[in-house]
Amino acid sequence: MSPTPNPSAAHAMTPATLRTQWQQLPAALRAAIEQHTGRVHRAETISAGLNATFTARLHTETGLIFAKGTPSTRAAGQRREACINPYAQPIAPRLHWHIDIAGWHILGFEHLDGHPAELSPGSDDLPDVTRMLTQLTELKVPTTGCRRIEDRWADAAKQADTDPALLAGNHLLHTDLNPHNILITKRGARLVDWSWPTLGAPWIDTACTALWLIAEGHTPADAERWASAHPAWSTAQSAAIDTFTATSAALWGQIASNEPRPWKLRVRDAAATWAQHRA
């Protein structure tokens, strides 16, 4: 009997918190949102996504809006996302407004009609993802609002005994290219949830995507062949890719140890497999 294939890591991703419904939001917050949108006729709660407490498709007098929010005390990532949005165009959905009132921080984006990217072998979505990653390397670089990759990953690099300076650069990076953050639309792939905008080498987002390809069933060799089709990949020294894989293995080891959810364990194992392949 053939072994049962491992389930998709992306399919196992579920929200970290229960979703708050539109009617459960404070009345003052709902009124503030409707000052931007006109009357909200209907709100559809969206279950996809990991960190926001409120995510919904708002049917309003002025059209569809994707809104997400979280208590103001936990909104650092959303504030970074609002700051970086003008620089992430046209890959990110456009931010129309953001509100911080009644203890909530809410972002209102243009609504994208699409589906999360399928990154398994043979997926029809991969060409769109390839084109999007090329566009990523062409984004303008913000002057504020971003940490540098060598600082963000310093602890994991120390654990892996690698030199994070090999990852340094001045390109705007997303760094969280899980399939739910890559939406395939009629206009191509779009990238959502810019909670961790980072400056680093131009090939790093391609490497972050390649890690997810491995988690979704590709071999490390196949993932690297896929990555080699991206122009930025040719700028990466072999030692820098070794540093990325070893550091990622340490980083995802920490993440999975702190919260051993099934999808995090899958990505941890993928990162370890890639690091062993490089070694």
How would residue 7 be classed by pLDDT, with cut points 50, 70 and 90? low
pTM of the model: 0.92
Token pair belonging to 167: 């990852």
Give pLDDT tens digits for 14-47.
655 678 999 999 999 999 999 999 999 999 998 7
pLDDT of residue 144: 84
pLDDT of residue 154: 97
| Beta-strand relationship, 198-200 and 147-148 | parallel
pLDDT of residue 51: 72
Work out the percent of the chain whose per-residue pLDDT is above 70.
93
Q: Is the pLDDT of residue 123 over 90?
A: yes
* Between 157 and 48, residue with greater pLDDT: 157
The answer to whether 267 and 179 are in contact (CB under 8 A) is no
How many CA within 13 A on the CB side of residue 97? 11
pLDDT of residue 49: 64
Looking at domain 114-278, its CATH class is: alpha beta
pLDDT of residue 11: 62
Q: Mean of the pLDDT values across residues 240-263?
A: 96
Residue 169 exposed, middle or buried by CB count within 10 Å (0-12, 13-18, 19+): buried
Give pLDDT tens digits for 164-202.
999 999 999 999 999 999 999 999 999 999 999 999 999
The strand order across the sheet containing 114-116 reads: 114-116, 182-185, 188-191
Q: Is the pLDDT of residue 1 over 80?
A: no
* Between 143 and 31, residue with greater pLDDT: 31
The answer to whether 149 and 164 are in contact (CB under 8 A) is yes
Q: Mean of the pLDDT values across residues 207-224?
A: 97
Q: Is the pLDDT of residue 3 over 90?
A: no
pLDDT of residue 10: 65
Phi, psi for 120 (deg, rounded to 5): -70, 165
pLDDT of residue 46: 86
Domain segments of the chain as ranges: 10-110, 114-278
| Averaged confidence pLDDT in the chain | 92
pLDDT of residue 198: 97
Indicate the CATH number of 10-110 among 3.40.50.970, 3.30.200.20, 3.40.50.300, 3.90.1150.10. 3.30.200.20
Q: Is the pLDDT of residue 88 over 70?
A: yes
pLDDT of residue 5: 42
